[in-house]
Structure 1
Amino acid sequence: MLGADHPDTLNSCNNLAYAYQAAGDLGRAIPLFEATLAEQERVLGADHPATLTSQNNLAGAYKSAGDRDRAIPLYKSALAGCERVLGTDHPTTRTVRTNLQVATVANAPNPSGWWRRVLPRWGRSWGTGRGDASSAL
């Protein structure tokens, strides 16, 4: 048995929370994301890549729940950590940056205009076959 504090166990909890979110059960997802993030910060540290990923995932759950006031600062914190630990061009850093931009632009007066400017750069940055970026809104 790995135990409740084992990194694999914490990763599994994060994955379960993500599954709850994907199934539309934010009532289960958000508390599990919050508890998992707190444990990862305690066990792994705030700058561990798994902790930063969980921070991004919790921000995404908040955004899905319509709580951008909690999502955006959490995305900003995750992005700062990812840039510091992983570098600005790491795939996780790029994902968090995009998630922050999406959460921020969703409140902008003309989000569709933003997408018209960003989508051409999306292909250069990520390449093709990465899915439809416009569905992130």
Structure 2
Amino acid sequence: MNRQALEGYEKALGKEHPDTLTSVGNLASVLRDQGRYKEAEEINRRALEGRGKAMGKEHPDTLTSVNNLASVLGYQGKYEEAEEMNQRALEGREKALGEEHPSTLTSVSNLALVLQDQGKYKEAEQINRRALEGYKKALGKEHPDTLTSVDNLALVLGYQGKYEEAEQINRRALEGREKALGKEHPDTLTSVSNLALVLVYQGKYKEAEQINQRALEGIEKALGKEHPSTLTSVSNLALVLRD
């Protein structure tokens, strides 16, 4: 459907029209969600270049493209470039939208994730706490974006060995996502996987195995056997079986 929309926009409005570039960005997002990161990166770069030219580097839509490109770079392990892009998006959104705007908080969360991926856990924890407080204030405790922030904070706490707090927060995120999104939603299954991981860290292997099995079955059903998230779940289950 995105490809059909993009083709129509290009024909009717031209390749550089803002609506065409929105369609480009949408296609890149769905490719990213399927784990097709290289293709998503190429299309995100097209969207970013076009929006920068048409709207300027500081326009909110341009900064969205910066954020999206940073995300897909992070998924490919290109952490330094992803961090630079996230910093650019965050500074631009703080200036244009303010520090408490949900889009700004998305940039805060994304920066925390790429810092976490580089092992900068203390800094990532501080930034995650900022994002979480902002989301609770702006969107409420049960909003999906808030719960994503809860999950992110739990993950970085686990990496630092703060297992009991991480488990409590993971259970909160999982309960909220089950209620808001349902038990089979991919974001809910991410919370399931994260809870299993922190249980492993604490040596609670039997419960971790059961929860990993639930995560794997759900992710295979939702995303397919070859999706990167499915393969991560397979690896996680193998680790707990080994332990």
Counting only pairs closer than 5 Å after superposition, residues 1-137 of structure 1 correspond to structure 2 as: 1-108=54-161, 110=163, 114=167, 118=171, 121=175, 124-125=178-179, 126-129=181-184, 130=186, 131-133=189-191, 135-136=193-194
TM-score by length of 2: 0.50
Alpha-carbon separation, structure 2, partners of 1:77 and 1:109: 18
- What amino acid sits opposite 1:121 in the alignment? E
Question: Which structure has the highest helix share of the two?
Answer: 2
Structure with higher RCO (Cα < 8 A, 6+ apart): 1
Give the root-mean-square deviation of aligned CA atoms.
Answer: 2.3
How many Å separate the matches in 2 of 1:135 and 1:65?
A: 20
Deviation at 1:105, TM superposition (A): 2.2
Amino acid at match of 1:26: Y
Partner letter of residue 11 of structure 1? T
Structure-2 separation of matches of 1:5 and 1:20: 21
**Distance in 2 separating the partners of 1:132 and 1:122:** 13
Structure 2: how far apart are the matches of 1:123 and 1:74?
22
C-alpha separation between the residues in 2 aligned to 1:120 and 1:78?
A: 18
Distance 1:32 1:132, change over 3 A: closer
Q: 1:44 to 1:122 in 2, by over 3 A?
A: closer
Q: Which has the larger radius of gyration?
A: 2
What are the Cα deviations for residues 1-43 of structure 1, in whole angstroms up to 9, with x where unaligned? Answer: 1111111100000000111101110011001111110111011
Q: For structure 1, which runs of at least 5 residues remain unmatched after alignment?
A: none
Q: 8 Å contact 2:174–2:191 — kept in the other structure?
A: no
1:133, distance to aligned residue in structure 2 (A): 3.1
In the comparison of the two structures, how many residue pairs are matched? 135
Residues 7 and 77 of structure 1: CA distance in aligned 2, closer, same or farther (over 3 Å): same
